[in-house]
Structure formats: structure tokens, C-alpha cells
């Protein structure tokens, strides 16, 4: 298709609101704290936001007191300081909300484990990671900071952040002076107190060491805005936690975290359209992101498949996301919309795009057996879209079952090696079912937590990328699943004319 300049200008007026302003990512160092933050009306209250930024999804990274006082590897600056957090593209946030007493950056949370879920699970207060670390945007433009709730974390370099955390931890454990400063901050003065601090710290350090050196270690850096979430889940569930390093897959397929508005209503989610149930998706994500799980015990009676699953919180966040509106272009910040061009852009969108990208008021599925309808999403073969195919090939095809072999479902039980996908799914399902069983939900509550999706889920389509509604896409650079296109203008020109 030939794309004339007026085609691009009109379409961009419709999608962006403006043909002239193209938002570029601003280096993290140019971000500033809460000064001049502009919130758009996305139908969330300030309390909704504050909770979303910091609620605990059950993740346990490091004891909270250690995290608060940990220094960076090569200096005395605090690891959690605004300057260091911004270095890795986290959005900083002052203390003040009830969910963030210590002014941690958006997406860093406090997880309290008061009761061990299995013999030996560590209790206490921990720093954790939550949805907003990866699913929140700040667009920085001429000194103004426009917050996009539920947008992709397009400055966050998760891989570099975890590796820097690992370096900070190693440096503190090996440099006696650095360790003593930490101990002094935590009031550990006696030799006994210092020894017990060191033991606790060393035990927890192993977690981040595993991530930094295996789970997220790739041949080339992911860079900001790109995370190989699916390999992280696979590695943690099949390799790190059960202690079967042979199952590690190099995470070579980092993707942009998608924006989250309208996702709960969509028939399929994830770039490759692989999940329907919100519980399976959200709990699966936490399995990849520091949620404690017991995959070492011999049998379920000893606590195998126990976890720190935070299902009520995951349910709450899903419901809250279901009422998150796409952001509208703020004309007072980015400039006036040319209404004439926007009108012709809308017609062009209907003609050229809406066949795949379902547009308001959307085409919906027929009601399912619970009477619920979902927004249809386009499922386009990867070979037709022409973007890279690593997503479907990132994890290794077979898994060693190790000591889990006797606790797998009948079709996999007793085998030394099984297909990776089946192995991973069976562990995830066992963890999910055990966590759900403890809640003693009524059938109606269970349906609700599953987003009224029919179980078992229908098989996912093979090797496709999803074309979902893109309302609010103007606010979500960079573009495509792999984040390879820097701005919307370049999305609308032929691939050969894009920056590499």
C-alpha cells in the first residue's frame, strides 16, 4: 500500500491527536520526582493509583530493612535512592501515600509474610516488585511529566536493574567496611547480631544471584522497555526453584510490556495471544517475578507446590484494570488536535486498520456459557506480520523432570524428560490449584476470579501476534511487541524507511 504524506498526517492526527508532536523517550536521568506530574483522566481515583503503584503481589526480593539501607556496588549512595532508581528508568515517587511509607519508586512494594506457608519459609517484611514496575509510563516533555497509568514501563531496564542489585548485594557481602555500615544502620552491633544479619542476607542474596546469572542473563542486553517475561517464568518454575539448571533457557526474546487498559475485556492476552484466564496470567507472572514457591519438597504433603500467592490482590488489580480508561491526548500539554485531519484519519483507520485492530464500540464474542462477552482481537500469523519470531521459540523444547517427576500429572509422571510446555504448565497449575484450594472459594467466586473464562481454556492459536484495540496507543512508545519502532510516525511509513 502506498502511504502518502497526507495519509500519515491524517492517521496520526486521529491516533495521536496531533500530526506534529511525536513523543520520544527521554533518558531516565531527565525524569524528576513528583514535581509537575500531570495525571490524565483514566477513571482511576488517586487512591486507585497509589494502591496500584505499590500493592504487594506476593513477591519477595530482599528483607525490607536491608533493601532500604543497601548501598550501590561502587559507592555509598543508597540503592533505592531516587537518583539510582532513575538510572534504571524506574519512576520515582515521594513518600506520602499509605501504600508507600518510604518513598520507594513506582512498582517496588512491601510484602509481609507473617505465617510460613511451608516448613522453613522465611517470614518478615520484604521489598518486592509489583505490576507497576513494568506497566506504568511517564512521558517527559518540555519539563512536564505526564503519567500514563497502566502504560508500558518504557524507560525501565529490568535486566540492568536486577544485575545492579546483584552487584550491590555481592559488594556488601564481600566488603567488610560496606557490610559494617549496613549492620550499623540496622542496629546490629554485637558480633552475634552481625552474624545473624549476614546469614539472613546471604540466604536471600541467592535469589537475586540466580536471576542475575541465569534467569535473565542473555547474550546481549535487553535495554529499557524490553523484558523476556515468558522465559523468566519458565526459568524460575522449571529450573531455578526446582534446582534443575539444565532447564534454563537463555531469555532471547524480550518484549515491551503491553499497556493494560482494555486488556481484561479482550478475548486473548499476551503479544502471542496465549492466555485467556486472568488468574492464570497474573499468577503466572508472579511465578516469574520473585513469588516464593516450594518446588523442592518431596511431596505435596511436605509442602510441594505451596506458594505465597496473593490471589485476592491479583483479583483486585484485575478488576481495577477493567475500569482503567485509555488516556486521551492532553491538548494543553502536547498541542491542539487538527479536527479535520482527525476526521479523515478516522475514516482511513476504519478502512485500513479496523479489520485487525477492533475499534470502538468493538466487535464482541457471542456470550459464553456464563453469559459473558469479550472483545475480539485480531490473530495474525507471525509470517504475515513479518516481525521477529523469537517469542514462540525462546524456551527449550524439552525439560528434565528431576525430583518433580513423581508428582506430575499421570501423562507425564515417572518420565525423565517431557515437553517443556507441558512440564511448565503442570507445575504452574499445581501451584495455582493449591493456592486456590486454600481460599475455599464458592463456585461463583471462583468463576469471578477466573474472569468468567471457560475452563479448561481453549488451545491457544499457533504462532500468531495479536492485533488488539489500540485506543490510547499514542501514549505507549516504543511500538510493536519487540519495541523496535521508536515512534508512531515510523509505524505509519514503510519498514524500509524506519530507523534501525
- The x, y and z cell numbers of residue 49, run together, are 493509583
Select the residue interacting with ligand HEC from 131, 146, 165, 295 (CB under 6 A).
131
The 10 Å CB-count burial string (b at 16+, else e) for 262-291 is bbbbbbbbbbbbbbbbbbbbbbbbbbbbbb
Contact segment (CB under 6 A) with ligand HEC among 37-45, 46-54, 364-372, 471-479 equals 471-479
Select the residue interacting with ligand HEC from 42, 57, 231, 240 (CB under 6 A).
57
Select the residue interacting with ligand HEC from 19, 207, 255, 309 (CB under 6 A).
255
Is residue 289 part of the contact set for ligand HEC (CB under 6 A)?
yes
* Among 376, 380, 364, CA closest to 463: 380
Nearer to ligand HEC, 273 or 412 (CB): 273
452 CB contacts (<8 Å, ≥6 apart)? 368, 370, 372
- The x, y and z cell numbers of residue 207, run together, are 535469589
Select the residue interacting with ligand HEC from 49, 145, 424, 481 (CB under 6 A).
481
364 CB contacts (<8 Å, ≥6 apart)? 373, 374, 375, 376
Rule CB under 6 A: which of 346-375 touch ligand HEC? 352-353, 355-357
* Among 153, 434, 435, CA closest to 313: 435
Select the residue interacting with ligand HEC from 173, 429, 467, 493 (CB under 6 A).
467
Rounded CA-CA distance 261/487 in Å is: 20
* Among 443, 402, 231, CA closest to 304: 402
Is residue 460 part of the contact set for ligand HEC (CB under 6 A)?
no
DSSP line for 207-245: HHHHIIIIIT--SS---TT-B-HHHHHHHIIIIITTT-G
Is residue 269 part of the contact set for ligand HEC (CB under 6 A)?
yes
Q: x/- binding map, residues 299-318, to ligand HEC, per CB under 6 A?
A: ---------------x--x-
Residue 153: CB minimum distance to ligand HEC, A: 7
Is residue 148 part of the contact set for ligand HEC (CB under 6 A)?
no
* Among 392, 393, 387, CA closest to 482: 387
Is residue 431 part of the contact set for ligand HEC (CB under 6 A)?
no
Rule CB under 6 A: which of 218-237 touch ligand HEC? 227, 229-230
Select the residue interacting with ligand HEC from 154, 163, 204, 270 (CB under 6 A).
270
**Would you say 222 and 176 are in contact if contact means Cβ atoms under 8 Å apart?**
no
Select the residue interacting with ligand HEC from 104, 106, 134, 239 (CB under 6 A).
134
Rounded CA-CA distance 474/268 in Å is: 22
Nearer to ligand HEC, 427 or 464 (CB): 464
Is residue 133 part of the contact set for ligand HEC (CB under 6 A)?
yes
- The x, y and z cell numbers of residue 99, run together, are 501504600
Residues that bind ligand HEC (CB under 6 A): 11, 57, 129-131, 133-135, 158, 227, 229-230, 255, 257-258, 260, 263, 269-272, 282, 285, 289, 314, 317, 352-353, 355-357, 378, 380, 385, 387, 465, 467-468, 470, 473, 476, 479-481, 488, 491
Amino acid at each position: 500500500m502506498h502511504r502518502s504524506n497526507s495519509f500519515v498526517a491524517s492517521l496520526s492526527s486521529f491516533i495521536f491527536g496531533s500530526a506534529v508532536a511525536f513523543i520520544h523517550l527521554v533518558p531516565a536521568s531527565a525524569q524528576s520526582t513528583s514535581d509537575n506530574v500531570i495525571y490524565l483522566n483514566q477513571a482511576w481515583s488517586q487512591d486507585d493509583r497509589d494502591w496500584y503503584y505499590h500493592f504487594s503481589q506476593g513477591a519477595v526480593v530482599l528483607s525490607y530493612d536491608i533493601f532500604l539501607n543497601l548501598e550501590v556496588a561502587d559507592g555509598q549512595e543508597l540503592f533505592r535512592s531516587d537518583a539510582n532508581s532513575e538510572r534504571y528508568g524506574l519512576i520515582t515517587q515521594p513518600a506520602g501515600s499509605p501504600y508507600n511509607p518510604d518513598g520507594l519508586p513506582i512498582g517496588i512494594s512491601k510484602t509481609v509474610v507473617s505465617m510460613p506457608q511451608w516448613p522453613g519459609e522465611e517470614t518478615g517484611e520484604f521489598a518486592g516488585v509489583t505490576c507497576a514496575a513494568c506497566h506504568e509510563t511517564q512521558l517527559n516533555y518540555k519539563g512536564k511529566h505526564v503519567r500514563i497509568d497502566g502504560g508500558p514501563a518504557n524507560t525501565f531496564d529490568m535486566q540492568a536493574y536486577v544485575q545492579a542489585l546483584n552487584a550491590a548485594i555481592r559488594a556488601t557481602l564481600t566488603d567488610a567496611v560496606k557490610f559494617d555500615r549496613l549492620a550499623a544502620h540496622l542496629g546490629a552491633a554485637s558480633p552475634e547480631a552481625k552474624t545473624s544479619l549476614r546469614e539472613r542476607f546471604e540466604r536471600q542474596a541467592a535469589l537475586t544471584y540466580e536471576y542475575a546469572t541465569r534467569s535473565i542473563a542473555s547474550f546481549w542486553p535487553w535495554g529499557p522497555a524490553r523484558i523476556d517475561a515468558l522465559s523468566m517464568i519458565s526459568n524460575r518454575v522449571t529450573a531455578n526453584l526446582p534446582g534443575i539448571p539444565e532447564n534454563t533457557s537463555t531469555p532471547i526474546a524480550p518484549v515491551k510490556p503491553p499497556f493494560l487498559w482494555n486488556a481484561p475485556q479482550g478475548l486473548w492476552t499476551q503479544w502471542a495471544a496465549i492466555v485467556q484466564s486472568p488468574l492464570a496470567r497474573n499468577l503466572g507472572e508472579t511465578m516469574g517475578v520473585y513469588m516464593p514457591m516450594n518446588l523442592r519438597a518431596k511431596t505435596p504433603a511436605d509442602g510441594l507446590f505451596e506458594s505465597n500467592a496473593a490471589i485476592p490482590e491479583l483479583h483486585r488489580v484485575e478488576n481495577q484494570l477493567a475500569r482503567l480508561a485509555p488516556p486521551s491526548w492532553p491538548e494543553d500539554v502536547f498541542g491542539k488536535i487538527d479536527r479535520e485531519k482527525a476526521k479523515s484519519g478516522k475514516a482511513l483507520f476504519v478502512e485500513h486498520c479496523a479489520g485487525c485492530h477492533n475499534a470502538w464500540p468493538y466487535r464482541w464474542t457471542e456470550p459464553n456459557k456464563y453469559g459473558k462477552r469479550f472483545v475480539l482481537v485480531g490473530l495474525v500469523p507471525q509470517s504475515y506480520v513479518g516481525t521477529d519470531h523469537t517469542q514462540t521459540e525462546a524456551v527449550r523444547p524439552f525439560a528434565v523432570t528431576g525430583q518433580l517427576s513423581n508428582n506430575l500429572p499421570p501423562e507425564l509422571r515417572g518420565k525423565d524428560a517431557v515437553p517443556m510446555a507441558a512440564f511448565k504448565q503442570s507445575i504452574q497449575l499445581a501451584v495455582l490449584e493449591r493456592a486456590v484450594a486454600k481460599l475455599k472459594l464458592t463456585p461463583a467466586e471462583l468463576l469471578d476470579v477466573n474472569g468468567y473464562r471457560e475452563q479448561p481454556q481453549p488451545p491457544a492459536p499457533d504462532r500468531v501476534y495479536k492485533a488488539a484495540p489500540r485506543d490510547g496507543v499514542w501514549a505507549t512508545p516504543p511500538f510493536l511487541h519487540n519495541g523496535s519502532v521508536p515512534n508512531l510516525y515510523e509505524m505509519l511509513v514503510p519498514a524500509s524507511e524506519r530507523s534501525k
